[in-house]
Amino acid sequence: MKNDTPIAVTSRSFSRHPILRGELLERYSNVRFNDEGLSLKGDALVEFARGCKKLITALEPIDEDVLSRLPELEVIGKYGVGHDMIDKAAMARHGVRLGWTGGVNRRSVAELALTMMISLLHEVPRANLDIRNGHWQNRLGRQLTGKTVGIVGCGHIGKDLTPLLKAFDCKVLVHDRRDFPEFYAKYDVQAVDLEFLLRQADVVTLHLPLTELTRNIISRERLAGMKPEAILINTARGGLVDEQALKEALREGRLAGAGFDVFAPEPPEDPELLGLPNFLATSHIGGSSEEAILAMGRAAIAGLDENEIPSDAYPPSYLFEGK
């Protein structure tokens, strides 16, 4: 027998996914989907969710104001692995439970990071621009094989990326506030401080949440500490890198290339950065593979029944817990 608890699905992508809709409706009979594709926040979010005991949310801001106006809300199932849009302390104050599973999109994001590394090392963005502009030019690229790769943040995605890099015989450096000795030993990973990693790595890839402690963690000064032939990859969160300083470094040849799937803000508003031939940009697609979307959606559905009051330890709020 289906559960008739009233549920609202604020996420647009979940709402339009036929498999996820069907699997949710197999369990619950009283579901309100965001079929109009609305961008829900503030008053609109409260109005949409009013009267529902459970929500499935994605990037919609859940804060004190929203929670105070939804006294009937009991559970939020999180669609997606990032939780920076949720005020967990406010949820705890209001007794609202959170169903969240970390790392369900790890392989999708790891593959995109790897794609960007190979593309930039092999000068794919420049070569593509050449041929689109009618120029046939043989550009000299570099192999990923044998390079030193620095992973900043060894959470779910950092750990998933490591064995992929080892298949290319890469030397892997990791910076994380926590220690994972068994993982490091298994994959012959060297744990180092951030400045050492930036100085040594041919490729730096970021896998951090955005917090007040990680905002602009790759600052102008830290960009200046990287090798001029290095490349920087950000498939984690916009706001981790000083984008103005990055643009200057790329334009002046103080950094060989950068690949970003995330920006602050989104969509990005700097056409000069986007137009640089050594900059590769995608539209926050890291977790948007078919397989990852299904995994995230199924985790959100499970979270409606498997959940707990958030605390400082749940979801992980550690500085370098990868998204």
Nearest to 195 by CA among 229, 212, 228, 218: 218
**Residue 54, phi then psi, degrees to nearest 5:** -135, 145
Measured between alpha carbons, how far is 278 from 259 in angstroms, rounded to an integer? Answer: 9
Instruction: Decide if 284 is catalytic.
Output: yes
Question: Is the bond into 315 cis (omega within 30 degrees of 0)?
Answer: yes
Q: What are phi and psi of 150, to 5 degrees?
A: -105, 120
CA 83 to chain centre: 10
Residue from 94, 142, 215, 284 carrying the catalytic annotation: 284
The CA–CA distances, whole Å, from 254 to 216, 220, 286 equal: 18, 11, 27
Give the residue from 204, 206, 216, 229 showing the smallest Cα distance to 322: 206
**CB < 8 Å & 24+ apart, contacts of 288-291:** 288/108, 289/105, 289/108, 289/111, 291/107, 291/108
Radius of gyration, alpha carbons of the chain = 21
The single residue of 47, 195, 221, 266 carrying the catalytic annotation is: 266
**DSSP assigned state of 188:** T
> Which residue bears the tokens 């984008």?
243
Alpha-carbon span 175 to 93, nearest angstrom:
34
The residue among 2, 6, 30, 25 whose CA lies nearest residue 14 is: 25
- Rounded CA separation 127/191 (Å): 35
CB-CB neighbours of 177 under 10 Å? 11
60, 237, 243, 321: which is the annotated catalytic residue?
Answer: 237
Q: Is 27 part of the annotated catalytic residue set?
A: no
Is residue 290 part of the annotated active site? The answer reads no
The angle that helices 156-166 and 106-121 make with each other, rounded to 10 degrees, is: 50
Q: Annotated catalytic sites, by residue? A: 237, 266, 284
